[in-house]
Structure 1
Amino acid sequence: MEQKVLVAHGTANGSTQEIAETVAEVLRTTGITAEVLPARSVTELDRYEAVVVGGALYAGRWHKDARRFVRRHRGALAHRPVWFFSSGPLDSTASQRDIPPVPGVKRAMARLDARGHVTFGGCLTEGAQGRIARMILRNGKGGDFRDFAAIEDWAMGVAKELGAMTHR
């Protein structure tokens, strides 16, 4: 049976979308059909057996599109496997240790019995939109702190879990 997985994301400047695309690419290498969509554009989940939701972190909160997606689709998400990821720290902490989900994500995980969460390093580079982003860059705090090997490893874990589910 073909599995179809949605990888939905909330992003301001595109780096969380790139993480979502990497997750989907890894899932595809294992034979899973994966579709990447902006969280705000998803209208229904009927076509998907599982969902991965990613959101950029801003001031201790998940991107509004990711939050709204989870709220809007709560009923459908409760009936399928769900994983969350966050992207955010503009330093190497996400590569050095496990960073727990922010409170809003932690609550959503508990409500939906989510199978997992990980926080990846963020990315903020020249040309980023938003007053706060530009201020961070002016203060020399930007950069790309995403660890694509860690992203691929995490996505492979999701794929393995999905594979184990289909063989029950």
Structure 2
Amino acid sequence: MTQNILVAYGTTNGSTRRIAETVAGVLRERGMAARALPAAEVTSLERYDAVVVGGGLYGGRWHRDCRAFVRRHARALAAMPVWFFSSGPLDATASRREIPPVRGVRRAMERLGVTEHVTFGGCLEEGATGFIARRIVSSGKGGDFRDFARIEAWAAGIGTALETGRRAG
């Protein structure tokens, strides 16, 4: 039986969307029905067997759409396999070492029994919206720090966990 996986994301400038689409693509390559959708657009988790939630980090907090998604769907999320990811460091630190989840994400993980969290580097480039984002880019501190090989490997690990967690029947 094909597993239906949701990859819900919150993003302001699109960087996290590309990570979510990459995760969903890897899961589809493994034969799963995976969809990447904006967290704000998801109204029900009824059709999904597992969920990955990913949000950009802004000022030490997860994207507001992810926070709202987790609150809105807490009961359903607590009853299924869930993975979290964050994106945001505008340097290579996320590729060199594990970065723990920010406090709000850690608390949500504990409440829901989330399987795993990972932080990926972020991306902030010319054309970014928001005063602070534009200032970061204009100061020369922007750039693309997403490590797609690492993202794909993490997604493959989710696929393996879901495949081995299947029950015969």
1:2 aligned onto 2:2: yes
Aligned to 2:146: 146
Report the CA distance between 1:2 and its aligned residue.
Answer: 1.1
Question: Which digits, 9 at most, give the CA deviation of each residue in 1:4-31, with x for residues without a partner?
Answer: 0000000000010000000000001111
- 1:9-158 paired onto structure 2 within 5 Å: 9-158=9-158
Report the CA distance between 1:48 and its aligned residue.
Answer: 0.1
RMSD: 0.7
Distance in 2, Cα, partners of 1:62 & 1:18: 17
Aligned to 2:161: 161
Distance in 1, Cα, partners of 2:80 & 2:8: 14
Question: Which digits, 9 at most, give the CA deviation of each residue in 1:46-100, with x for residues without a partner?
Answer: 0000000000001110000011000110011011100000000000000010000
Task: Read off the aligned partner of 1:153 and give its amino acid letter.
Answer: A
Q: Sequence identity, in percent? A: 65
Distance in 1, Cα, partners of 2:95 & 2:83: 19
Distance in 2, Cα, partners of 1:133 & 1:70: 25
Task: Read off the aligned partner of 1:26 and give its amino acid letter.
Answer: V
TM-score for both structures, normalised by structure 1: 0.99
Question: Which digits, 9 at most, give the CA deviation of each residue in 1:95-153, with x for residues without a partner?
Answer: 01000000000000000100000000000000000011001111111000000000000
Q: How many residue pairs end up in the alignment?
A: 168
Task: Read off the aligned partner of 1:99 and give its amino acid letter.
Answer: I
